[in-house]
């Protein structure tokens, strides 16, 4: 493995067993479930990697897991994006950066979407700005990576099942390695 892959995976070793924001899964379980859904959908290695790493920003701060309940948005999509940009192409980092915007977008354009959000996701939605305005919707739709971000968002929403059997982090490290190798060549 390259040092880039080691640096990324080390965050899961350090903080992957932490609670995933009021959900019944850990950060690592959530990441593995999202990546499994992306893989099952036949996604590219880049989008599988984005699914695996979309919440890596949560692993990079020392805020308590219930900080949204105290009105604190950790801006994990921004910190995760910045960190991953050192190692990975836009095909990974942009869906990561946009996955929160995709939630806001879906809440604005799909009347049934907001109703299926988990209670912690509803709380964070309010901190993240709520449903998008008409101008924000147009800007989001014009973004080259918006559709990948929407796909990632839907996997994110589904990846909260306690005890679900999924492949290990090592399984997905191969997709990550492939994307890192392609970026560095």
CA–CA separation, 108 and 114 (whole Å)? 9
pLDDT for 98 = 97
Query: pLDDT digit string (tens) for 144-178?
Result: 999 999 999 999 999 999 999 999 999 998 889 88
Report the 10 Å Cβ neighbour count for 173: 19
Q: What is the CATH number of the domain that holds 113?
A: 1.10.3210.10
Count of domains observed in the chain: 1
The values of phi and psi at residue 66, to 5°, are -100, 20
183: pLDDT strictly greater than 90 = no
Reply yes or no on whether the pLDDT at 139 is more than 50.
yes
The pTM assigned to this predicted structure is 0.89
Rounded average pLDDT over 125-145: 95
- The 10s digit of each residue's pLDDT in 24-42 is 889 899 999 999 999 999 9
pLDDT at 18: 75
Domain hosting 48: range is: 3-184
Q: What's the confidence (pLDDT) of residue 91? A: 97
Place of tokens 């009105």: 71
Q: Measured in whole angstroms, how far is the alpha carbon of residue 77 from the centre of its chain?
A: 7
Backbone angles phi, psi at 24, to 5 degrees: -95, 20
Rounded mean pLDDT, 131-147: 98
Q: Is 118 exposed, middle or buried (0-12, 13-18, 19+ CB in 10 A)?
A: middle
86: three-class secondary structure by DSSP: coil
Stretch 112-131: mean pLDDT, rounded? 89
């Amino acid at each position: 493995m390259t040092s880039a892959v080691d640096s990324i995976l080390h965050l899961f070793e350090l903080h992957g067993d932490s609670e995933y924001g009021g959900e019944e899964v850990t950060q690592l379980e959530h990441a593995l479930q999202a990546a499994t859904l992306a893989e099952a959908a036949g996604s590219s290695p880049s989008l599988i990697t984005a699914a695996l790493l979309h919440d890596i920003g949560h692993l990079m701060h020392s805020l308590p897991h219930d900080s949204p309940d105290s009105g604190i948005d950790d801006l994990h999509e921004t910190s995760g994006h910045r960190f991953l940009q050192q190692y990975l192409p836009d095909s990974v980092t942009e869906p990561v950066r946009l996955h929160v915007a995709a939630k806001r977008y879906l809440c604005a354009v799909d009347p049934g979407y907001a109703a299926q959000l988990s209670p912690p996701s509803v709380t964070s939605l309010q901190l993240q700005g709520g449903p998008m305005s008409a101008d924000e919707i147009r800007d989001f739709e014009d973004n080259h990576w918006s559709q990948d971000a929407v796909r990632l968002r839907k996997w994110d929403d589904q990846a909260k099942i306690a005890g679900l059997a999924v492949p290990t982090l090592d399984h997905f490290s191969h997709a990550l390695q492939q994307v890192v190798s392609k970026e560095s060549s």
